[in-house]
């Protein structure tokens, strides 16, 4: 995957992962991996885990019982008492007197349970109990035996202990009473026996965790639950027994509690209700029962503020979702992250749940706290059906989050080529930019480059041909320019600019792109003509002022200088205002363009020479530089026009290369200039190092002045031998080799530039138009006094200002057709005809090779001498392709027939 990784500089500001989504806004160099998410992402909607199904585990209770005095012996002995052995023990227990000090020892043990004294006391009790008979054990430790008998379900022992007067309110070290333990083991008879002896059904354990009713509900014993309720157990406790009934799916217990008046909701705010538990576990029957008894479906739980509908959507339980929606659950309610049930259902990839939510009117474009929509959460997944459902329900494919990421950005970052193609087919905007300025097209190029072919296909499909023959006057080309214009974007050339930015400028050679640029230029060229007139006027006045002030310094020219002063000052101020506006609009873009620095230099030079003209000698230097820069600027403005742009670009390209070459060989030139300065110091041309360097550079052009140096009668040559050798070396190394090398390379570059001249011209053309549109649609202009004029100009520059202007119908045979050049019309027709031919081949109606030859004459109707050679080459290629296709079709047909014979 290394070849698809983007340039590190392009990803410097991509944000790291945050919360439940793989994209955020913060800048970080190491954030690329955190943006890409191939795994299922779930939202932590629950602040606390679902409680365990039983209040206490079996091991927990037995450990607590074993820590009681005589607990280990009682736990091992009581389970063995059955039948005759049990009757013998009970008979032995009848006359025995109970130990009245057990309760005191127990309390001491409870108070000092962590001390060594308690450990020693328990050890002594165990040693003592080991030497006792079962009857003596019951008499010595009646409280312990009552708890353990209640836990083990020994009704006879419990009854015997109670008849002896053992307290029913005795507790273990955690505060559990015999009624707690009997309810946990569904020993209904023991519960009834304990209640007869005035056991308190409302008693809590030490941690205020459970009452016996909680234990019975957790055990799922409806008989025990009814018995406790009849005895006065409180069904309206802080932690309702309904929780445990729901956790164990004990429908009978749940119904009994509800009929007894148990509230299905909690009075506290943001606490978990039984309905939350039922939805989390997916207990549909429990949900129905709770809803039938009036459970509130809008209560939010915990710090996440999740409603039951949030939990059902997160679990992807469509049936639970339907029940809650039928009961009045609100689809627009958001949790603390701003997520609706639709967000969570999308994260869970539950299509059925999403359908239920949509059926009940859920909004598919709701945003969470980060601006993410459900479609943002869907695109990293592999489920294309999920994305289709959201889009069909009205989800916007171009809605950006707070960081500027659209679903197209996310799909491309996660390398979901199929998803990217689907979003593009639904109108995905590849020009959409994040807050860091990265376009979706940039992500597509580096992450899903295969999708680029779909972009080209969309451009091809935008050009179609009707069924008329080419020679027919009714033949029409239908050109749809909508694929080139981003939705809801003021700059209609934004796509062209993005293609150039990501290195896909070659797509501008597509006939549709060329036609669009041509039509666009026709819309805005009047503004460039005005700009050209403005610069012409400025250069004319500026040149006249400089000549009148600094060249012809006569008295009669001073009056002309004063007349020209004000026009130059006014135009300079207007130019300065324009440059300030460009800097305000985008200083980064302004700094990157060297043309802006040229314009700024002209303004500065103009201001300097307008301040007290001729008052300082150095103003002549500024005037000389300023007038040169002004004319160079005019050359750049002329280069904005398509017919001249190529030549200006060739000039700048060669100039930059010349500076590179000169920098590489500058050491050689300096060496010769210093040597000439030493050998010919008595000559004025080599009197100093700087003048010698200038003279040496001039000598590169061939101006050697051999006679003036070596045969001057007035000045004698001081070092004849060395001077001759040095000049010969200069001629060979610099004048012959270096100069010709630089010229040769420059000419070679020009030839290479001419080969790609069409593409370079289109790229420059698109950049100029895009820059102009960005300036025209700037929000800064909206605050200017001439707002109505600006609005009219904006409307006049747009091609798609109404739906009726989306298509262009061209008649190739109509001589009055002037909207596009003839060359472009030919390219469009070739594209449409090739597409039509491919469609015919796909349907099995491939034309024979000779049919291509018959079209030769039709194609020649639109050829001229300049492109006749290219057209002949195209016809030859069409013939060859048609022949190859026919051969391959025959081969495939033979293979199919052979396979059919083998099966027979």
| HEC assignment per residue over 775-806 | HHCCHHHHHCCCHHHHHHHHHHHCCCCCHHHC
Q: Yes or no: say if 162 and 168 are a contact pair by the CB < 8 Å rule.
A: yes
pLDDT in the model for residue 873 = 58
pLDDT in the model for residue 44 = 39
pLDDT in the model for residue 872 = 59
Please, what is the end-to-end C-alpha distance for the chain in angstroms? 47
- 809 strand-pairing partners: 478
In this structure, what is the dihedral angle of CA atoms 683, 684, 689, 693, given to the nearest 10 degrees?
A: -100
Q: Yes or no: say if 846 and 881 are a contact pair by the CB < 8 Å rule.
A: no
Instruction: Kindly give, in sequence order, each residue whose CB lies less than 8 Å from that of residue 467, ignoring residues fewer than 6 positions away.
Output: none
As a whole number of angstroms, the distance between CA 122 and CA 129 comes to 10
Nearest to residue 213, comparing CAs of 172, 156, 262? 262
Instruction: Kindly give, in sequence order, each residue whose CB lies less than 8 Å from that of residue 263, ignoring residues fewer than 6 positions away.
Output: 236, 240
Measured in whole angstroms, the distance separating CA 368 from the mean position of its chain's CA atoms is 15
Q: How many helices (H) and strands (E) does the chain have?
A: 44, 3
As a whole number of angstroms, the distance between CA 223 and CA 256 comes to 10
Instruction: State the burial class of residue 200 (Cβ atoms within 10 Å of its Cβ: 0-12, 13-18, 19+).
Output: middle
Distances (CA, A) of 46 to 244, 314, 852: 18, 10, 70
Instruction: Kindly give, in sequence order, each residue whose CB lies less than 8 Å from that of residue 307, ignoring residues fewer than 6 positions away.
Output: 297, 298, 299, 300, 301, 329, 330, 333, 335, 341
Instruction: Kindly give, in sequence order, each residue whose CB lies less than 8 Å from that of residue 154, ignoring residues fewer than 6 positions away.
Output: 78, 81
Q: What residues does each domain of the chain span?
A: 2-35+384-461, 658-755, 824-903
Q: Which two tokens stand for residue 399?
A: 């809605």
Q: Yes or no: say if 371 and 403 are a contact pair by the CB < 8 Å rule.
A: yes
Residues of the chain with pLDDT under 50: 1-49, 103-117, 555, 804, 841-866, 904
Three-state SS for 103-141 is: HHHHHHHHHCCCCHHHHHHHHHHHHHHHCCCHHHHHHHC
Backbone angles phi, psi at 306, to 5 degrees: -85, 135
* CATH of segment(s) 2-35+384-461: 1.25.40.20
Helix axes 274-281 and 308-315, enclosed angle (nearest 10): 10
pLDDT in the model for residue 278 = 92
- DSSP H or E stretch at residue 526: helix 511-546
As a whole number of angstroms, the distance between CA 810 and CA 816 comes to 10
User: Is 677 strand, coil or helix?
Assistant: helix
pLDDT in the model for residue 126 = 56
The full length of the chain comes to 904
Q: Yes or no: say if 485 and 799 are a contact pair by the CB < 8 Å rule.
A: yes
Q: Which two tokens stand for residue 739?
A: 């100069």
Q: Which two tokens stand for residue 318?
A: 């469509």
Angle in degrees, CA 791, 794, 799, rounded to 5: 140
As a whole number of angstroms, the distance between CA 335 and CA 355 comes to 21
Q: Yes or no: say if 187 and 155 are a contact pair by the CB < 8 Å rule.
A: yes
Instruction: Kindly give, in sequence order, each residue whose CB lies less than 8 Å from that of residue 817, ignoring residues fewer than 6 positions away.
Output: 810, 811, 825
What is the sign of the dihedral through the CA atoms of 395, 397, 398 and 403?
A: positive
Q: Which two tokens stand for residue 215?
A: 């234990």
The strand order across the sheet containing 477-480 reads: 463-465, 477-480, 807-810
Helix axes 308-315 and 318-326, enclosed angle (nearest 10): 160
Nearest to residue 824, comparing CAs of 496, 546, 556, 518? 518
Q: Yes or no: say if 846 and 883 are a contact pair by the CB < 8 Å rule.
A: no
Which pLDDT tens digit goes with each residue over 544-563?
A: 888 888 777 654 566 777 78
User: Is 480 strand, coil or helix?
Assistant: strand
As a whole number of angstroms, the distance between CA 828 and CA 830 comes to 5
Q: What is the CA radius of gyration of the chain?
A: 46
pLDDT in the model for residue 752 = 66
- Name the DSSP class of 510: S
In this structure, what is the dihedral angle of CA atoms 227, 229, 230, 234, given to the nearest 10 degrees?
A: 140
């Amino acid at each position: 995957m290394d070849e698809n990784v983007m340039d590190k500089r392009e990803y410097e500001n991509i944000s790291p992962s945050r919360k439940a989504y793989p994209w955020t806004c913060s800048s970080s160099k190491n954030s690329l991996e955190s943006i890409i998410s191939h795994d299922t992402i779930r939202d932590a909607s629950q602040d606390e885990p679902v409680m365990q199904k039983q209040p206490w585990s079996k091991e927990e209770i037995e450990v607590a019982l074993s820590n009681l005095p005589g607990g280990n012996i009682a736990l091992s002995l009581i389970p063995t008492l059955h039948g005759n052995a049990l009757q013998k023990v009970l008979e032995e227990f009848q006359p025995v007197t109970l130990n009245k000090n057990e309760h005191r020892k127990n309390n001491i043990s409870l108070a000092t349970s962590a001390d060594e004294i308690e450990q020693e006391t328990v050890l002594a009790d165990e040693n003592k109990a080991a030497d006792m008979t079962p009857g003596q054990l019951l008499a010595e430790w009646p409280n312990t035996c009552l708890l353990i008998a209640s836990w083990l379900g020994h009704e006879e022992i419990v009854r015997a202990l109670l008849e002896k007067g053992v307290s029913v309110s005795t507790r273990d070290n955690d505060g559990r009473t015999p009624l707690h333990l009997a309810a946990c083991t569904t020993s209904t008879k023991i519960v009834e026996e304990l209640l007869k002896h005035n056991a308190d059904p409302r008693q809590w354990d030490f941690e205020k965790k459970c009452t016996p009713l909680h234990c019975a509900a957790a055990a799922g014993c409806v008989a025990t639950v009814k018995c406790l309720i009849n005895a006065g157990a409180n069904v309206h406790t802080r932690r309702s027994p309904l929780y445990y009934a729901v956790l164990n799916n004990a429908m009978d217990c749940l119904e009994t509690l509800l009929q007894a008046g148990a509230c299905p909701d909690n009075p506290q705010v943001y606490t978990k209700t039984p309905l939350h538990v039922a939805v989390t576990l997916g207990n549909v029957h429990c949900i129905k029962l709770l809803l039938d008894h009036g459970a509130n479906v809008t209560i939010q739980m915990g710090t996440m503020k999740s409603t039951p509908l949030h939990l059902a959507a997160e679990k992807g339980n469509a049936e639970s979702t339907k029940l809650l929606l039928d009961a009045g659950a609100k689809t627009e309610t958001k949790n603390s992250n701003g997520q609706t049930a639709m967000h969570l259902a999308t994260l869970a990839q539950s299509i059925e749940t999403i359908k239920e939510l949509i059926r009940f009117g859920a909004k598919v474009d709701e945003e969470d706290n980060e601006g993410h929509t459900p479609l943002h959460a869907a695109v990293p997944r592999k489920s294309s059906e999920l994305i289709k459902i959201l889009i069909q329900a009205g989800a916007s494919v171009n809605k950006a989050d707070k960081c500027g990421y659209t679903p197209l950005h996310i799909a491309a970052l996660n390398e979901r080529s199929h998803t990217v193609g689907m979003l593009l087919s639904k109108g995905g905007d590849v020009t959409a930019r994040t807050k860091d300025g990265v376009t979706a097209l940039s992500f597509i190029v580096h992450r899903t480059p295969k999708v680029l072919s779909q972009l080209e296909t969309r451009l091809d499909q935008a050009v179609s041909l009707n069924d008329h023959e080419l020679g027919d006057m009714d033949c029409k080309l239908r050109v749809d320019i909508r694929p080139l214009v981003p939705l809801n974007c003021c700059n209609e050339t934004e796509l062209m600019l993005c293609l150039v930015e990501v290195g896909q400028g070659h797509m501008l050679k597509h006939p549709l792109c060329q036609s669009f640029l041509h039509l666009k230029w026709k819309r805005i060229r009047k503004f460039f003509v005005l700009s050209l007139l403005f610069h012409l006027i400025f250069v004319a006045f500026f040149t006249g002022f400089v000549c009148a002030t600094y060249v012809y310094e006569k008295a009669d020219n001073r009056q002309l200088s004063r007349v020209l002063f004000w026009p130059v000052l006014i135009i300079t101020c207007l130019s300065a205002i324009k440059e300030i506006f460009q800097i305000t609009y985008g200083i980064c873009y302004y700094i990157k363009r060297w043309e802006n620095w040229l314009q700024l230099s002209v303004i500065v030079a103009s201001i300097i020479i307008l301040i007290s003209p001729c008052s300082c000698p150095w103003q002549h230097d500024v005037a000389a530089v300023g007038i040169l820069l002004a004319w160079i600027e005019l050359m750049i403005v002329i280069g904005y026009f398509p017919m001249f742009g190529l030549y200006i670009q060739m000039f700048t390209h060669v100039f930059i290369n010349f500076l590179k070459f000169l920098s590489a060989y500058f050491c050689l030139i300096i060496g010769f200039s210093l040597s000439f300065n030493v050998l010919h110091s008595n000559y004025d041309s080599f009197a100093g190092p700087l003048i010698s360097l200038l003279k040496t550079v001039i000598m590169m052009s061939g101006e050697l002045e051999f006679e003036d140096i070596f045969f001057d009668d007035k000045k004698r040559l001081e070092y004849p031998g060395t001077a001759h050798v040095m000049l010969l070396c200069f001629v060979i190394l610099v004048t012959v080799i270096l100069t010709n090398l630089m010229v040769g390379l420059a000419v070679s570059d020009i030839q290479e530039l001419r080969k790609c001249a069409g593409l370079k011209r289109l790229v420059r053309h698109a950049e100029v138009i895009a820059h102009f549109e960005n300036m025209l649609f700037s929000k800064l202009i909206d605050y200017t006094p001439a707002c109505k004029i600006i609005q009219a100009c904006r409307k006049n520059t747009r091609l798609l200002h109404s739906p009726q202007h989306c298509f262009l119908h061209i008649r190739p045979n109509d001589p009055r057709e002037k909207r596009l050049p003839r060359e472009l019309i030919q390219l469009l027709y070739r594209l449409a005809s090739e597409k039509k031919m491919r469609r015919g081949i796909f349907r099995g109606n491939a034309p024979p090779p000779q049919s291509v030859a018959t079209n030769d004459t039709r194609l020649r109707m639109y050829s001229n001498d300049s492109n006749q050679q290219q057209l002949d080459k195209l016809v030859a290629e069409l013939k060859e392709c048609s022949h190859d296709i026919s051969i391959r079709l025959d081969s495939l047909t033979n293979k199919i027939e052979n396979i059919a014979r083998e099966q027979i």
